[in-house]
Amino acid sequence: MKNTVYLFIASIFILFACQTPKTITKTDSENIRLNQLGYYPASVKQFIIVDMNVSDFDIINEENKVVFSGELTQNGLWEASGEEVSSGDFTVFNEPGKYRILLNDSVASYPFEIKDNLYEEALNAAIKSYYFQRASMPIDESYGGIYKRAAGHPDDKCLYHPSSGKTTGTLNSPGGWYDAGDYGKYIVNASLSVGQMLNLIEIYPDAISDGALNIPESGNGVSDLWDELKYELDWILSMQDDDGGVYFKLTALHFGGFIMPEDYNLDRYIIGKGTASTLNFAAVLAQASRLYQNIDSSWSEKALEASKKAWKWAVLNTDVPFKNPKDVSTGEYGDDIFSDDFYWAATELYITTREETYQTYLTENPIEYAHKLTDSWKSFVRNNAFHSLLDNKNLLNEELASSLNANHLSLAESIIEKIDTNPYRIALEQYEWGSNSDILNQAMILCMAHRISGEEKYLTGAEQINDYIFGKNATGYSFLTGYGSKQVMFPHHRPSGADGIDMPIPGFIAGGPNAHKQDKQNVTYTSEFPAKAYIDEQASFASNEVCLNWNAPAVFVMAYLQQVRK
């Protein structure tokens, strides 16, 4: 029987609808942590109970009748949250419907559903969040509804900061997405994020249909996901210097206030040029070139030419790190280790061109097969490379293909081992800026392990992690804006904070618990425990900001689950 490691069959029995409805005295209990969206019929179905002396549970339907009962497992103290944790499992119950978990015949959880296509709406919203981040164009009411707004940041005459290597003239660099809660545009984060979603497209090119998102390009015969990524890719292309090097970012010198894009009046600058931005540019454009070949062949050729030109610049400029100049305080995205950036660029260029130069680089410059937490925008580029290679193993020699396969499954096993020993059934062991992206990247790794092995345990692990995002966590929040019963209401996101609308723009993943609390001078956290170091306040940039690279793995994971579970 599937998922038997999590089931306690001896204690489970199913009760049928002839029972008398239960009288619930406490609803939406904060002591019950579960996926507030719900579960696929065939998926693992688990939840967490904290700080309650209770040994069993019921599942009740909309009429408050018990449809399933089971026993809880005592998981002990979770030091990261300071909670005594129990867990329940009702994986064998797969009847579609709307339910609650009931404890002590009176204490009920938030409602949840068991249904097919569980993540379809949330997935579409997570992708459409990128549309709402578009610079240089208005968000029309026909596409954005109540979140309509005027165009901001035409970025058609951006000044050159001296760090760019130029001091005169301007650059025309419109379009693209705002990076996070601010209005900057950054090449390294854009490249990583687009690259993760291009990994999805390479696996499931039709995961998102034309018209699914209701964006301006809908109805053009091309998947809305492909269209949305193209909007960012066109901006990325505009950031290349004549010599092949790539500018680092397009921002003002300092962050602006919480105002709408059209009210922004700070000068915009082209800032920096370095090895990381150039290699990430080379990687994502080579990747995009092969995938868009049958959609826009001329654009594909242009992207590949730009990618090769960037690679040549990087080979001649192997160690040019970026640091914010003294007069600049926008996001730094600093990095001074470029071996993984070279590896990703060589990977995508080899897969796209089949040229020996790039294959030789990969062979002669292996890197550690690992998932390094902290700053995913610089540490996960190696994993982007691995995932592309794994999906194109037919282009590799047998030794390299076998090694990649074994190494990936070994990495996935280490994540599964952590899940199995963690009271919350997750693998995350440290909580930092963007911790939700760390845990979603773990889920992405498990999805890839499932893809290459077909083993159910990896899919189960990805589902357990996704449950964390939607409420099975120590804060009790569903971290995707607009979804779940306990929603994030005040993200650190300028349009959501300045538009005068009570509900934030839907579809954004909040950063999540951050033990470092870099913003503690601005907000008062309610817990000293790392897994609870989160506060739903606009001022909390350290725990409640949104960002491109936090949404990207969420898109991948939800889309993957939709493809294999629906």
Active site residues: 182, 492, 536, 545
Encode 331-359 in three state secondary structure. Answer: CCCCCCCCHHHHHHHHHHHHHHHCCHHHH
Return contacts of 393-396, CB within 8 angstroms, 24+ apart. 395/350, 395/351, 395/354
Residue 521 has what DSSP assignment?
T
Q: Are 49 and 29 in contact (CB under 8 A)?
A: no
Q: CB–CB of 415/463 below 8 Å?
A: no
Q: Phi and psi (nearest 5°) for 26? A: -140, 115
> Does residue 262 contact residue 150 with C-beta atoms inside 8 Å?
yes
542: Cα within 13 Å, side-chain hemisphere = 20
Distances (CA, A) of 361 to 12, 364, 378: 56, 5, 20
- Per DSSP, the residues of 248-289 read EEEE-SS---S--GGG--S--EEEEE-HHHHHHHHHHHHHHH
237 sits in the region (left: phi over 0; alpha: psi -120 to 50; else beta) called alpha
The strand pairing partners of 66, in sequence order, are 60
State phi, psi for 545 to the nearest 5 degrees.
-80, 160
- Taking each helix axis from N to C end, the angle separating 381-390 and 435-453, rounded to the nearest 10 degrees, works out to 20
Backbone angles phi, psi at 392, to 5 degrees: -130, 40
Give backbone dihedrals phi and psi of 375, rounded to 5 degrees, phi first.
55, 70
Q: Among all chains, which residue has been given the structure tokens 């992690």?
A: 465
Task: Give strand pairing partners of 114.
Answer: 39, 97
Helix (H, G, I), strand (E, B) or coil at 175: coil
Name residue 50's amino acid: V
